[in-house]
Amino acid sequence: MNKYACVLAMMAVGMLAACAMSPNNPSHAAAGATGPGDAIAPLSLVPAVARLDRHAGSFALREGTRIVAPAGDEGAHRVAQYLADRIKRSTGMQLTVADGGDAKGAIVLASDPAIEGEEAYALDVTSDGATIRASRSHGLFYGAITLWQALTAQPDSHAVPAMHVDDAPRFAWRGLMVDSARHFQTTDELRKIIDQMALLKLNTFHWHLTDDQAWRIEIKKYPDLTRIGGCRKALGPDAALVEEPGKPYCGVYTQDDVQGIVAYAAERYITVVPEIEMPGHAQAAIASYPQFGVTKKRPAVSTDWGVMPYLYSPSDKTFTFMENVLDEVMALFPSTYIHVGGDEAIKDQWQASKAVQAQMKQLGITNEEKLQGWFIARIGAYLDEHGRRLIGWDEILDGDVPASAAVMSWRGTKGAVIAANKGHDVVLAPAPDLYLDNVQSRLPDEVPGRMPVITLEALYHFEPVPSEISAENAKHVLGAEATIFAEQTPTAARVEHAAFPRLAALAERTWTNQADWQDFLARMPAQMARFKNDDIKAADTAFGVAFEATANGDKAMVKLSTQTGLGSIHYTIDGSTPVANSPAYTAPIDVPLPTTLMATAFIGEQALAQPRTQVVDAASLLRRDSTALELCTDSNGSRQEAALPVDGPRRTHFVDIMNTCWRWKGVDLTGVRHIAIEVDRLPWNFALAHEIKNVVTRPKHSKAGEVEVRLDSCEGEPAASLGLAAAHDGKATLTGDLQGEGTHDLCIVVTGKPGPTFWVLGNVQLQR
């Protein structure tokens, strides 16, 4: 019996005794069972622990059960109170924190200097109580989380299974980056994210506070950074984020806000690493203080996504400004590392500036890339003088940076390999592997985001130590972090959807050497329940049902599937919501036309995702939304959100901003005579820098342009040409005749040049 079948069969009778009980599956491993009748339910511990020995029996918690901390140990008492609060939230039981006392019948936190590593711990649970031992309060905290996870591994449990755990993390840096510059999160929203990071044993919150689109952190010496740089014009979907039409989109963290977040994270053993971008991604700062820019002219705070040309001037006045900013930043953030960005700094303004060129000549610097290296090195030296370490994106390797500088590799893993082999410490954060703003599926209800799809499984299989780093230099890999850049995550719900459950996969890969995807997947139902209980809007796309319908005479054949294959799919055709005893999907279904299918995957009685619905009728078999089409080029494209309606759900469109061209492959045009294509106009607010030359434009045959449909090739005469004048520069459905017989690929293109708006597709409907 395979593991999935075992899980399903055993859950049906409330037992999962023999599923995945092996040393390679540490979160399920069993020891001490006395026979087949003494089934030990699995523990859904995420991340998996280093070693777990299971025993028969459990420790039952009751109202008033004591959590005993050593007398006078402030750190242990904080952990004890945290654990009591967590258990209260999960079970409703109020446990009592005690200052020393009898261990019998209690949860005991104990100092044990023999346990090596500040985050390491040991956990022992018997029927008489539980003991967490560690040399530092960090370890006690992680032991408490393991105990809490064991308590919540089964629904409505008030008992912790008997076990012994020895555990310590694989990496020192286990992180998440949240971009608060492009879209703003409130402090309450950030605390909610930090809470979940702690429960997954992540320990580094990288806070992206400045960029072209905003400067979010209060700097008292330079108040215009937030007064001017903290706001921008609301454009496109941003209009839904402001209180009234025409009002700017703003968001600022006061220094009190920052101190509150830093303290809140520290209570959960999470270090907050601030990022202050330089020398590029500086447009918001230069809009606030243009004297520190190259041109000395004041731009607007950017409303575009992408790469802007504005760089800091490499002058002494600019360095005084940067040092003053960093002085206030260092006073707020006690972190060893200060992130200085260093990425995507195109050098056009430096190249065009006589003053900058003269400075380079005086310094003996031969090109602008080396000038950036000199800039970063000077900042790094300043941080070194103040007992801090510089970390920056991998472009900082283009210059001479201090030996103490660490490198965060985002352009794949190459930067990490180069840096580690040069002796720099590195953090892996490669695109697209760990970019959580990438979409998670091709399901119709997937939210806006970058492509390609980064599934839960794909992220789980990421290995933080590239094979090109030698064993000797692997010690320089501090760890890894996932990133959420916020162009298309404008709300807290979107941030949560992007982060969870994929962040759980990264948590496991950075905590333990074990890597067992199927075992991790079997632990996900309990983890998804934890997210739900904490009101986290976790994405269920890894478990959501996808429909594939094809014509089959006067009926349709429908295939159902999920990304992971976990659980069994149950469906209905009568309009009712599927339940665990609804018909089970075992093979493609023949359905009459029309039929409304609704389907959900289940493990036992637990639905793994929200039900998905598909209407199957004659029209739907001849219809594709843009999100179901392919793009014409190698570009991965993105899912872009419509600007309207301001209130309510907005349409998502799949598009390549460089080439508005889509393919619908293998279309049977027998009897098809007409086509209807939905179009919409979105802001083309993309700063492409030197890549602008690669934008594909096609000649228009009218002032407004056309949507053209061609057969098989994207060249040649169109089989349909639908004039965009009928759209009146907004959302519309264009209709026309379609010439063609037999089976063909349809190539659908938009003529004209994008900017300041561009056309996107919605549904493409063929008509007989």
Model's pTM, two decimal places? Answer: 0.94
Cβ atoms of 430 and 480 within 8 Å: the answer is no
Over residues 74-103, the mean pLDDT reads: 94
Report the CATH number at residue 67. Answer: 3.30.379.10
Co-location of 290 and 417 in the same domain: yes
Residue 6 has pLDDT above 60, yes or no: no
Residue 232 lies in a domain: yes
**DSSP strands (E only) in 485-594:** 546-552, 555-561, 568-572, 589-592
Three-state SS for 328? helix
Over residues 534-539, the mean pLDDT reads: 98
Over residues 9-33, the mean pLDDT reads: 35
Over residues 11-36, the mean pLDDT reads: 34
Which residue among 618, 635, 661 closes a domain?
618
Per-residue pLDDT, 648: 85
Co-location of 740 and 681 in the same domain: yes
Co-location of 649 and 690 in the same domain: yes
Co-location of 243 and 298 in the same domain: yes
* Locus of tokens 């200097």: 113
Mutual angle of helices 255-267 and 187-199, in 10-degree steps: 20
Co-location of 592 and 704 in the same domain: no
Note if the bond before 314 is cis, omega within 30 degrees.
Answer: no
Cβ atoms of 374 and 312 within 8 Å: the answer is no
Q: For 301, which DSSP code?
A: P
What pLDDT band is residue 40 in, cutting at 50, 70 and 90? low
Residue 740 lies in a domain: yes
Per-residue pLDDT, 671: 94
Residue 86 lies in a domain: yes
Residue type, 470: S
Report the CATH number at residue 568. Answer: 2.60.40
Per-residue pLDDT, 401: 81
Co-location of 631 and 552 in the same domain: no
Which residue among 618, 633, 664 closes a domain?
618
In percent, how much of the chain has pLDDT > 90? Answer: 88
Cβ atoms of 675 and 766 within 8 Å: the answer is yes
For the CA atoms of 577, 579, 582, 586, the dihedral, rounded to the nearest 10 degrees, stands at: 100
Co-location of 507 and 419 in the same domain: yes
Residue 294 has pLDDT above 50, yes or no: yes
Residue 7 has pLDDT above 80, yes or no: no
Over residues 91-104, the mean pLDDT reads: 91
Co-location of 492 and 587 in the same domain: no
Co-location of 68 and 211 in the same domain: no
Cβ atoms of 427 and 466 within 8 Å: the answer is no
Over residues 547-563, the mean pLDDT reads: 95
Co-location of 270 and 178 in the same domain: yes
Cβ atoms of 81 and 95 within 8 Å: the answer is no
Q: How far is CA 422 from CA 327, 406, 407, 475, 724, in A?
A: 29, 11, 11, 12, 56
Total domain count for the chain? Answer: 4
Co-location of 686 and 699 in the same domain: yes
Per-residue pLDDT, 21: 33
Residue range 154-209, pLDDT digits in tens? 888 899 999 999 999 999 999 999 999 999 999 999 999 999 999 999 999 999 99
Range of the structural domain that residue 87 is part of:
58-148
> Where does residue 191 fall: left (phi above 0), alpha (psi -120 to 50 degrees), or beta otherwise?
alpha
Over residues 708-727, the mean pLDDT reads: 94
Report the CATH number at residue 325. Answer: 3.20.20.80
Which has the closest alpha carbon to 46: 543, 533, 670, 510?
A: 510
Over residues 275-286, the mean pLDDT reads: 98
Residue 14 lies in a domain: no
In percent, how much of the chain has pLDDT > 70? Answer: 95
Rounded to the nearest integer, the mean pLDDT of the chain is 93
Over residues 432-436, the mean pLDDT reads: 98
Over residues 425-436, the mean pLDDT reads: 98
Distance between CA 188 and CA 88 in Å, rounded? Answer: 20
Residue 722 lies in a domain: yes
Q: 179 phi and psi, to 5 degrees? A: -90, 110
Which residue among 584, 603, 618 closes a domain?
618
What pLDDT band is residue 12 in, cutting at 50, 70 and 90? very low
Residue 37 lies in a domain: no
Query: Partners of 164 in the beta sheet?
Result: 53, 124
The residues annotated with a catalytic role in the active site are 211, 281, 344
Structure-block tokens of residue 284: 């918001």
Distance between CA 354 and CA 374 in Å, rounded? Answer: 18
Co-location of 354 and 301 in the same domain: yes
Residue 316 has pLDDT above 60, yes or no: yes
* Locus of tokens 């920052």: 258
Per-residue pLDDT, 644: 86
Over residues 393-401, the mean pLDDT reads: 88
Per-residue pLDDT, 35: 30
Over residues 574-582, the mean pLDDT reads: 96
Residue 1 has pLDDT above 80, yes or no: no
Lowest mean pLDDT among 32-46, 492-506, 571-585, 609-623: 32-46
Residue 167 lies in a domain: no
Report the CATH number at residue 711. Answer: 2.60.120.260
Structure-block tokens of residue 527: 């983890």
Residue 47 lies in a domain: no
Which has the closest alpha carbon to 261: 333, 210, 174?
A: 333
